[in-house]
Amino acid sequence: MHTVLNVALGDRSYPIYIGDGVLARADLVLPHIRGKQVLLVSNETVAPLYAETLRTSLLSAGLTVAEVVLPDGEQYKDWQHLNQIFDALLQARFSRKATLIALGGGVIGDMTGFAAACYQRGVDFIQVPTTLLSQVDSSVGGKTGINHPLGKNMIGAFQQPRVVLADTGVLKSLPQRELSAGLAEVIKYGLIRDLDFLCWLEAHMEGLMARDSSLLAEAIERSCQNKADVVAADEFEQNDIRALLNLGHTFGHAIETGMGYGEWLHGEAVGAGMLLAADLSCREGWLTPADVARVKALLLRAGLPVAAPAGMTPAIFMQHMAVDKKNVDGRLRLVLLKQLGEAIVTDQASPAHLQATLVAACEGVVG
């Protein structure tokens, strides 16, 4: 049994299949592969677990399958390791009708999609996300790219996948820390646009942390539906609708860049960043202290950090927040909360309030 959602983008629309065992379902993939050549891109952690299952299903369908296995970690999301994908494509003499399949978490999905956008000026790719975070966020919507030492995700392209296979069965092998990181992005949807979902998460967080399969499937479905609706309304982030998905990300990316990629998982940094956004929203007069405490309590129940890591300072935050894709003409633009379930993008936050939030975060006293 599986659920099918649709990302409605006209002739670039594509389905998301959610269910236990969809990873091995070649029949779900084949209609979206236009040639015979497939490059499977994975990492050293995921490939030993799932690559053979996927490879076997593709080979049985008569496809030619090559494979590249990259190191595992955010610190490898760079030009050097991106080139390994291009090396594999060129060495196998893959044509413009080749299809790249990303088997892994957000790093693998972002890099594979970016490689697909660049190779021969654009080839197809398919997302097979294996972490909760990638299933509910990064595999849907077509944002791809790599990191730069001065800024996260500053180099990339929009490249929509042809299909997404979100296999809930693979979450059984997911480390607990990775599960918590994924829940940060799940919580985000409740905070920015779906108050009913936020209440549902508050009622079921212990079950999600215990990996109840039916609860995880529902959380993935509701998250993907929220993401699909936002992407359909603003695919290329032109009118600030899609930018709302970046709640907590400006603060979180500053943590990731400032501490060094890979020190904190992306979802961990976003979790802390969302609490900072809630704190600043309270200082701006939109949220109440009780609202901020509610956000903090849910993040803690999800096993997420609620303070900046040791070594971060307000100056380090500001240095890296100045390099953010949402900024326009040198003005810092932040995603904040007018109320729980309603986010906005603003460049009008008080500098004094922002400084107070950053100080509180670095002292570990937010919320």
Residues forming the active site = 121, 143, 185, 227, 237, 242, 246, 249, 253, 266
Strand, coil or helix: 97: coil
First to last CA, the chain: 42
Q: Is the C-alpha dihedral spanning 168, 172, 173, 174 positive or negative?
A: positive
Q: Please provide the DSSP assignment of 26-43 as one string.
A: HHHHGGG--SSEEEEEEE
| Residue closest to 312 by CA, chosen among 359, 352, 250, 353 | 359
Instruction: Report the C-alpha gap between 11 and 96 in whole angstroms.
Output: 19
Cα 365 off chain centre by: 27
Q: What is the DSSP letter of 123?
A: -
Burial class of residue 15 in the structure, from the number of CB atoms within 10 Å of its CB (0-12 exposed, 13-18 middle, 19+ buried): middle
Q: Which amino acid is at 351?
A: P
Parallel/antiparallel/unpaired status of strands 14-19 and 3-7 = antiparallel
Helices (H) then strands (E): counts for the chain = 13, 11
Q: Is the C-alpha dihedral spanning 271, 269, 226, 31 positive or negative?
A: negative
Residue 258 has a CB neighbour count (10 Å cut-off) of 21
Please list the alpha-helical segments (H only) found in the chain.
26-29, 52-59, 79-91, 106-118, 132-133, 176-193, 195-209, 213-233, 249-259, 266-283, 289-301, 314-321, 351-363
What is the C-alpha radius of gyration for the chain, rounded to an integer number of angstroms? 20
